[in-house]
Structure 1
Amino acid sequence: MAERNVNYESTSDVKDKLEEIEQAPIRQDVDALIDQMESELQAAGKREAFVNIEFKNPKHFTWFLVCFASMGGLLSGLDQSLISGANLYLPKDLGLSSNQNSLINSGMPLGAVFGSILISPCNELFGRRWAIIIALVLYTIGAGLCAGAINFPMLIVARLILGAGVGLEGGTVPVYVAETVDRRIRGNLVSLYQLMIALGEVLGYAVGAIFLGLPGNWRYILGSSVVFSTIMFLGTIFIPESPRWLMHKGDHVSAYRIWKRIRGLDSRESREEFYDMKTTLEIEELEVKQGGTRRFPWIDLITNKRARRAFVYANVMIFLGQFTGINAVMYYMSVLMSQVGFDSTQANYMSLVGGGALLLGTIPAIFYMELCGRRFWALTMLPGFFIGLIFIGISYELPITNTAAVQGVYLTGLIIYEGFFGSYACLTWVIPSEVYPTYLRSYGMTVSSGWIFLTSFIVTYNFSAMQEAMTKIGLALGFYGGIAVLGWFYQLLFMPETKNRTLEEIDHIFEKQTIVIVKENIKSSRETIKDLMHLRFRKVATDG
């Protein structure tokens, strides 16, 4: 972790400075800080570069940068689903065994685990923007090698490189968006990343269908993501660095310059958020100085109580998102379709049904997550996809001779499961991106992103063996469904509400003891039950 421009000689100096910052009269200090930053900005001079673009309305800039940054989700989803179509032809062309094909499928999430290890060094050394660009280079190299693979080892290496890009980008983009957008739309816009993943997955199934009749079609399928990574690379060149990262690195003038471009300073709220950002980072720096862990920031994820609560909370939510089976279903979509009676061609086309349901299910989160809140979203969506798993389980118990009934019930369950999961999955990106302290955010996201893809690898690699050992209904309803039920109770008790809070305000939530959060959640649940009994549904949905 790089040194920052803070230097206090003793513990007493640190405590005095902390008290001074915490007790400062906010409004007066906000105006004074803005005036000071304006003077420093004028003294530094205006920096011009060919990649700088300006919008009269800062909101338009926000949408521009979020659009291109979130295209990383499109790439991630695309490369997850492309392998589904390739699965029908790739093993025969390269003479792969069942175990080798499982490794090919799980190679990308395994590579993403290694890519996640790159998050903190790339983010700390180069910044959010350059970390995204590096990820795109890995994407392009990996996709090109996939298209040209001539044997199993080459394809494994290609999938690992591709996965490294997915891991690095997946842990950086949500943080970049969370650090740059308005708190009132943060949950919605970070959810846009999951929407782009879902869109990418649908696009991947469509690409598989487009190249279905061509000889060596799997090469075109797997190599097609080069087109999208190139487009995103060209757009990413024009997005600015995260102002919070620049502030974290001590470059206050550059942080202020970019804040003016992407957020503006006309509103009181924007000015106060910049003030909070600067003073909170100073407090974090002083606490790190006092605690003596400056050289080992990873330790703070465990020893710092506030960081530890966020660490546990974020990674349990990721566990619930992955071990309810979503990536195994997406990677093996065509195979699962063939198991309920569709031939190879039909299975490829019918995969669009599951991918389309995931995409449509993600859309409500874009518009309503910030209105309804994280708790309401989690506690409502998780039971929804459990119901979908029930239908899937029932389809496995129907007589195989009644193909139409089996396919109808299975597709109904798949649509419900994918639809509700599309909205729920947004939380696995929103929550880790917002709960860690700023000085630990890249380190926390390294672990959380790695955990996302490690669990994805575990679930995907073991899918065939687990289905054989547990039976289809046992895996779908017993294992995936059982975790969903346990997860619902965990969320009911331990999940705090972070909607409509700045990243600095979220610090105060995780400073509370876990038992305090549990008591608040129990009290909130009682009030919710009363509201439901009195049919006050709007209050339940909007109060969180």
Structure 2
Amino acid sequence: MIGGRFLIGVGVGLAACIAPLYIQELSPTRLRGRMVVLNVVMITLGQVIAYGIGAGFDNIHGGWRWMVGLGAVPAGIQFIILFFLPESPRILIRRGNMTAAHAIMSKIYAYAKPEEVDLKVAVLHAAVKQSIEITNTTTFMQRFKSMMFDPINRRALIVGCGMQAFQQLCGFNTLMYYSATLFKEIGFDQPTAVGLIISGTNFIFTLVALKWIDKIGRRRIMIWSAPGMIIGLTLASIAFHFLTKKTNGNLVDGTQYSTAWSAIVLLSMIFFVASYATGLGNVPWQQGELFGLEVRGLGTSLSTATNWAGNLLIGSTYLSLMAKITPAGAFGFYAGLCFLGWLFVLMCFPETAGLSLEEVKMVFRNGFGIRESQRLRKAKKDIRDRDNVKRAVDERE
């Protein structure tokens, strides 16, 4: 079991890094955020299905074996489908296969005119050519140092790693891992089914993000949703304080707790998860758009490693935290970390919606580029508006 879990961890770690990056490189600019969120939608849908399967096998002898074995089915389907997926046009250009790159860009921008596709390929080729020159003239260690010491790359890395750390340190995954145990302790008769409510909320509000992330923007959706997480965790902390008064602040299995306060805990968790799924559950996985092509793989790898390091830290300390500072203290602590994460977003996270992967790099030339990203997006919008006006005039004539 340990060996199998280790092997699964390798696969999940690679997929968590590569899948969003691959999707971003195959998506048109205006839909890039939505396409990455679609990946998260499928993950959250998988969690809902997994909770449902878990609830179904809960009272069956040896049901856990079926739960483990059935996990091989979607992995097998994905393995077959992988052979039909196209290569990233940036990688094809890097290999010198311009014909294949042009063909894939034509599919990505299916409604663009041939000359518009040619222009996009030319711009892409210029950017890739520069990254090839950097790659061919530097070693891995030199690129790693560039990641750390070049101001543009370092700022992108701080934002990428910071957002991934925020995603884990908010405590969401502990709720996903331990929700059934937690709800059982506070008196729910069907804790796995209640856990299904949490995963279902996560899925539904990820669909909200799917609709709005490219329209509202990554930064704005984070600024609006993070306070909801803080409120949800704070309310949970208050509810746990009153819920566990008769057990000296600790959760004692088998104790009859107030159903009213237990219901408030559940409602606060739903509110927290809804806010998380709308913003923080999706936005950090847009990390690939922060880095230039020559360091994109390295930058996304370091950011993803930060995510799993945070996951390890939170997952391994949750039970100890609950025991040492009580459930009320633990959830209050997570609320404080969420507040710090929100401040980080306000001060360091620029808006990247509507900017091409090549344009995003320009944002970090001077500082974290919050104003620069707004200026670039406004300039692009003005150009689009002028083009639309000109097209309308031409059609009337």
Question: Normalising by structure 2, what TM-score?
Answer: 0.86
Cα displacement string for residues 116-142 of structure 1 (whole angstroms, at most 9, x for unaligned residues): xxxxxxxxxxxxxxxxxxxxxxxxxxx
Is structure 2 residue 218 aligned with structure 1 residue 374? yes
Q: Is the 8 A contact 1:494 1:521 kept in 2?
A: no
Equivalences for residues 302-321 of structure 1 within 5 A? 302-321=148-167
Indicate the residue corresponding to 1:486 in structure 2: 340
Equivalences for residues 270-285 of structure 1 within 5 A? 270-285=117-132
Is structure 2 residue 284 aligned with structure 1 residue 428? yes
Indicate the residue corresponding to 2:91 in structure 1: 245
Look up the equivalent residue of 1:439 and give its one-letter code: E
Q: CA deviation at 1:339?
A: 2.0
Q: Structure 1 residues 508 and 412, CA, compared in 2 at 3 Å: closer, same or farther?
A: same
Q: CA deviation at 1:257?
A: 3.1
CA–CA separation in structure 1 for the residues paired with 2:266 and 2:125: 51
Is structure 2 residue 304 aligned with structure 1 residue 457? no
Indicate the residue corresponding to 1:509 in structure 2: 363
Indicate the residue corresponding to 2:79 in structure 1: 233
Supply the RMSD in Å over aligned alpha carbons: 2.1
Cα displacement string for residues 362-421 of structure 1 (whole angstroms, at most 9, x for unaligned residues): 111111111111110110111111111122112212245553212210111011011111
Cα displacement string for residues 21-65 of structure 1 (whole angstroms, at most 9, x for unaligned residues): xxxxxxxxxxxxxxxxxxxxxxxxxxxxxxxxxxxxxxxxxxxxx
CA–CA separation in structure 2 for the residues paired with 1:521 and 1:306: 14
Indicate the residue corresponding to 2:322 in structure 1: 467
Q: CA deviation at 1:437?
A: 0.8
Equivalences for residues 322-471 of structure 1 within 5 A? 322-343=168-189, 346-399=190-243, 401-424=256-279, 425-430=281-286, 432-471=287-326
Q: Is the 8 A contact 2:229 2:271 kept in 1?
A: yes
Q: Structure 1 residues 267 and 186, CA, compared in 2 at 3 Å: closer, same or farther?
A: farther
Q: Structure 1 residues 268 and 257, CA, compared in 2 at 3 Å: closer, same or farther?
A: closer
Look up the equivalent residue of 1:426 and give its one-letter code: N
Equivalences for residues 260-279 of structure 1 within 5 A? 260-264=106-110, 266=113, 269-279=116-126
Q: Structure 1 residues 472 and 232, CA, compared in 2 at 3 Å: closer, same or farther?
A: same
Unaligned runs of 5+ in 2: 245-255, 376-397
Indicate the residue corresponding to 2:385 in structure 1: none
Q: CA deviation at 1:306?
A: 1.6
Q: CA deviation at 1:490?
A: 1.6
Indicate the residue corresponding to 2:23 in structure 1: 177
Q: CA deviation at 1:436?
A: 1.0
Q: Percent identity?
A: 27
Indicate the residue corresponding to 1:165 in structure 2: 11
Q: Structure 1 residues 266 and 519, CA, compared in 2 at 3 Å: closer, same or farther?
A: closer
Indicate the residue corresponding to 1:93 in structure 2: none
Q: CA deviation at 1:236?
A: 2.1
Q: After superposing the two structures, state which structure 1 stretch, 242-251 or 172-181, moved more.
A: 242-251
Tell me, what secondary structure is at the counterpart of 2:16?
helix
Look up the equivalent residue of 2:39 and give its one-letter code: Y
Indicate the residue corresponding to 1:534 in structure 2: none
Cα displacement string for residues 286-340 of structure 1 (whole angstroms, at most 9, x for unaligned residues): 45567x5577432221132221111111000111111000111101111111121
Q: After superposing the two structures, state which structure 1 stretch, 227-236 or 414-423, moved more.
A: 227-236
Q: Structure 1 residues 199 and 218, CA, compared in 2 at 3 Å: closer, same or farther?
A: same
Equivalences for residues 13-412 of structure 1 within 5 A? 155-264=1-110, 266=113, 269-287=116-134, 292-293=138-139, 296-343=142-189, 346-399=190-243, 401-412=256-267
Look up the equivalent residue of 1:428 and give its one-letter code: P
Look up the equivalent residue of 1:484 and give its one-letter code: C
Q: Is the 8 A contact 1:314 1:448 kept in 2?
A: yes
Q: Structure 1 residues 305 and 248, CA, compared in 2 at 3 Å: closer, same or farther?
A: farther
Look up the equivalent residue of 1:362 and give its one-letter code: T
Cα displacement string for residues 171-197 of structure 1 (whole angstroms, at most 9, x for unaligned residues): 111011100110001011101111112
Higher relative contact order (Cα pairs below 8 Å, separated by 6+ residues)? 2
Look up the equivalent residue of 1:327 and give its one-letter code: N
Count how many residue pairs are aligned between Structure 1 and Structure 2: 362
Tell me, what secondary structure is at the counterpart of 1:454?
helix
Tell me, what secondary structure is at the counterpart of 1:332?
helix
Tell me, what secondary structure is at the counterpart of 1:497?
coil
Q: Is the 8 A contact 2:363 2:373 kept in 1?
A: no
Q: CA deviation at 1:439?
A: 1.8
Q: After superposing the two structures, state which structure 1 stretch, 484-493 or 183-192, moved more.
A: 484-493
